[in-house]
Amino acid sequence: MKLNIFIVLACLALSFTTVQSNQSQFIQFKINTISSNDQAMLIDHKMRLKSGIQITRTDYLTSTFFCVLKPQMKYSKEDFTKWFNKLGYTISCYNTGIHRKDKVISPYTLKKCQDEK
């Protein structure tokens, strides 16, 4: 009986871990120095070339960037800071979470964000 309970608990733990690892992460932040749609399109093009980035959306009107990573991919704020610096941009107000689970900040709210420096 104890063995059966152990097996059931082990199976539940394994299935929970599998579900957790199949979730995608979103990343969003403010681009402090973007000023045109052409720049936004170039950023989207460059970021789509990065391994593990599934969806990308750069909006020059709100000066914001949003992307969804493939499941099990992890990139840090430092990764995005480095990539955007290479493209000639600075970023701030970095936000991340589980796609379709955690709250995304509205681009209009993010546009007004004053990053902690």
pLDDT, tens only, 58-105: 999 999 999 999 998 999 999 999 999 999 999 999 999 998 898 899
Residue 25 phi/psi, 5° resolution?
-105, 140
Distance between CA atoms of residues 61 and 81, nearest Å: 20
Question: Of all residues in the chain, what percent are helix, strand and coil, respectively (each to 5)?
Answer: 40, 25, 35
Q: Amino acid identity, residue 82?
A: K
What is the residue extent of each domain of the chain? 23-111
Confidence check: pLDDT of 46 > 70: yes
Supply the CATH classification number for the domain 23-111.
3.30.70.100
The pLDDT value recorded for residue 100 is: 84
Q: Is the pTM of this model over 0.75?
A: yes
Quote the longest CA-to-CA distance of the chain.
67
The pLDDT value recorded for residue 33 is: 87
Q: Amino acid identity, residue 110?
A: L
